[in-house]
Amino acid sequence: MSQEAPADNDALLRRHGLQVTAQRLAVLRAVSDRPHSTADDIDKVVRSEIGAISRQAVYDALGTLTEKGVLRRIQPAGSPARYENRVGDNHHHLICRACNRMVDVDCAVGETPCLTAADDWGYEIDEAEVIYWGRCPECVAAASASSGE
C-alpha cells in the first residue's frame, strides 16, 4: 500500500462512496496518526484540532468510516473498541494485559491461512480476528525488575 498524503484521503472517501467532510477527514487523519486508538482518544484529538465538532459527530464519523471499510474496528474482550486504517490484510494484534498497548502482527503463516477454519460449517468466511494476549517487553522487564531479579 502506498503512503497516503492528506489529499489522498479525499479520494479514499470518494472511492468508498462517502461525501468528503471536514469531520470525516479529521477523524481519518487522527486514526492514521495513531492507529489502535479508542473512540475516546480519537474524539480528543479531533476536537483539539477542529473544535466545533460534537462528540456524537466524531462517533458517527467513526461508525460510518468503519461500516464502509475505510477503517477497521477491533473489539478486544473487556476493553473499548480500537480503530485503525490498516484494512483488508487480515493482520492480527498483540495486546499487553498490563498496559493495554496494542501492536500489529502479520498473519501467523503466509497468505491468510487463518481464513481456513478447521470446519467452516458452510459459512463463506471473509475475515478472521486473532488477538494474542500477554505482556509487552517493557511490562515484563518492569515486573522482573520489581521482583528483584
Applying CB under 5 A, the residues found at the interface with Zn ion are: 84, 96, 98-99, 104, 136, 139
| Minimum distance from residue 36 beta carbon to Zn ion (Å) | 6
Do 90 and 115 form a contact (C-beta atoms < 8 A)?
A: yes
Question: Smaller CB distance to Zn ion: residue 96 or 128?
Answer: 96
| Minimum distance from residue 89 beta carbon to Zn ion (Å) | 9
| Minimum distance from residue 119 beta carbon to Zn ion (Å) | 27
Question: Smaller CB distance to Zn ion: residue 50 or 131?
Answer: 131
Question: Smaller CB distance to Zn ion: residue 107 or 139?
Answer: 139
| Minimum distance from residue 85 beta carbon to Zn ion (Å) | 9
- With 0-12 / 13-18 / 19 or more C-beta atoms within 10 angstroms meaning exposed / middle / buried, residue 132 is exposed
Q: Residue 96 phi/psi, 5° resolution?
A: -85, 125
Question: Smaller CB distance to Zn ion: residue 11 or 99?
Answer: 99
Sheet with 82-84, strands from edge to edge, namely 37-38, 82-84, 72-74
For residues 144 and 149, what is the distance between their CA atoms, to the nearest angstrom? Answer: 6
